[in-house]
Amino acid sequence: MAKLTKSQMLVAFAEKLGVSKKESGEIVEKFVDLAISEVVNNGEFVIPGIGKLVKVDRKARMGRNPATGETIQIAAKTVVKFRVAKAAKDAVL
């Protein structure tokens, strides 16, 4: 089974929504923009039944350079994680 490409996804959305491929592309683009702005402003974005994007602050920590074995300081940073909803896990498993 091959992975679904972006173009194939847009065609599937267009067929299900009864709109053109261009319009489905605009819908997906607006959805992504909304998700990003919500994570930036509120720290999370929930997609019901699938999961949520969550902004997480990582603490500074000690790490190791795999090439030299030297101990290095890894700076604190903010990352975005995706947490899968229980309903989606149960449906897949």
Return the closest-CA partner of residue 42 out of 27, 52, 31, 30. 52
State whether 49 and 79 are in the same domain. yes
pLDDT in tens, 46-93: 999 999 999 999 999 999 999 999 999 999 999 999 999 999 999 999
Asked whether residue 47 falls in the same domain as residue 85, the answer is yes
In Å, how far are 48, 63, 74, 76, 80 from 59, measured between CA atoms?
Answer: 29, 12, 9, 5, 14
Radius of gyration of the chain measured on its C-alpha atoms: 19
In terms of domains, do 22 and 50 share one? Answer: no
Q: How confident is the model at residue 2 (pLDDT cuts 50, 70, 90)?
A: confident
pTM above 0.85? Answer: no
Same domain, 65 and 75: yes
